[in-house]
Amino acid sequence: MVTSPATTREPSLVSAPKTYPNYKVIVLNDDFNTFEHVANCLMKHIPGMTSDLAWTFTNQIHHDGLAIVWVGPQEQAEFYHQQLRRDGLTMAPLESA
């Protein structure tokens, strides 16, 4: 009779899935973009942006100097940031949330 050596198993370590940080897309106030242009750009480039929300952000940008218009994964944040900048909005650098 052949016997096999005893097998010792190490307890398995269960790790939580790694989450990636979200990033903020921030539009800054400036002296050359009109309210209408800012609101239209937000509706055009930010998914799910309603007219009411775009105008709320536009007013916040004007009165507070900036507004965080979207928060989410880095790749999407970079894309929205780039699109808004290409349409002439003044953008803050992306920040992790």
Question: What domains can you pick out in the chain, each with its CATH number?
Answer: 22-96 (3.30.1390.10)
In 3D space, the residue among 15, 17, 26 whose CA is nearest the CA of residue 66 turns out to be 26
Report pLDDT digits (tens) over 7-63: 566 666 777 777 889 999 999 999 999 999 999 999 999 999 999 999 999 999 999
Distance CA 75, CA 94 (A): 11
Question: pTM of the prediction?
Answer: 0.81
At 1 the pLDDT is 58
Give the distance from CA 9 to its chain's centroid.
43
